[in-house]
Amino acid sequence: MIEAVSCGGVVIFRGKILLLYKNYRNRYEGWVLPKGTVEAGETHEQTALREVKEESGADAEIIEYVGKSTYSFLVPEDKVEKDVHWYLMKGRSYFSKPQSEEYFKDSGFYKYHEAIHLLKFSNEKEILEKAYARYQELRHEGKWDRQKA
């Protein structure tokens, strides 16, 4: 078994959530949240910010840790157990540009009800629900708009 760790972000700008559309060799892969593998010497926060920037071109800042999702998948002759650490992030603008080298064909910011419907994976939907609820709490408390971004 191979153990892997990734980090990613639920990026929100003006109430909308950043999603990426992946299409590999003209095969539908689905809409996902930006995430990627921790590199040597990086903290989880650094990985999350780097991956958001690399995969989407979006500038964001971490507001707080949201939680961890775990899943597994098969690769030739082995099984990968992956932990993904997620952060609620505040975007700096609506700008995004999908990273074509990673087979992302589209990106954009979507209203919550659109994003929850578009996301392919149930574990990412759960993280989005948790992150968006926290975003709404921070807005209700008047704390979201006081964040730096």
pLDDT tens digits, 37-93? 999 999 999 999 999 999 999 999 999 999 999 999 888 999 999 999 999 999 999
Model pTM? 0.93
Considering only 24-28, 31-35, 42-46, 49-53, which range has the smallest mean pLDDT?
A: 24-28
Type of residue numbered 60: A
Give, as one character, the DSSP assignment of residue 46: H
Q: Is 140 helix (H, G, I), strand (E, B) or coil?
A: helix
CATH of 2-140, one of 3.40.50.300, 3.40.190.10, 3.90.79.10, 3.20.20.70: 3.90.79.10
Query: H or E element: which one contains 115?
Result: helix 112-118
Residue 149: is its pLDDT beyond 60?
no
Type of residue numbered 107: S
pLDDT of 47 reads 98
Q: Are 13 and 90 in contact (CB under 8 A)?
A: yes
Tens digits of per-residue pLDDT, 86-108?
999 999 999 999 998 888 999 99
Mean pLDDT for all residues in the chain = 93
Tokens 């574990």 — which residue? 123
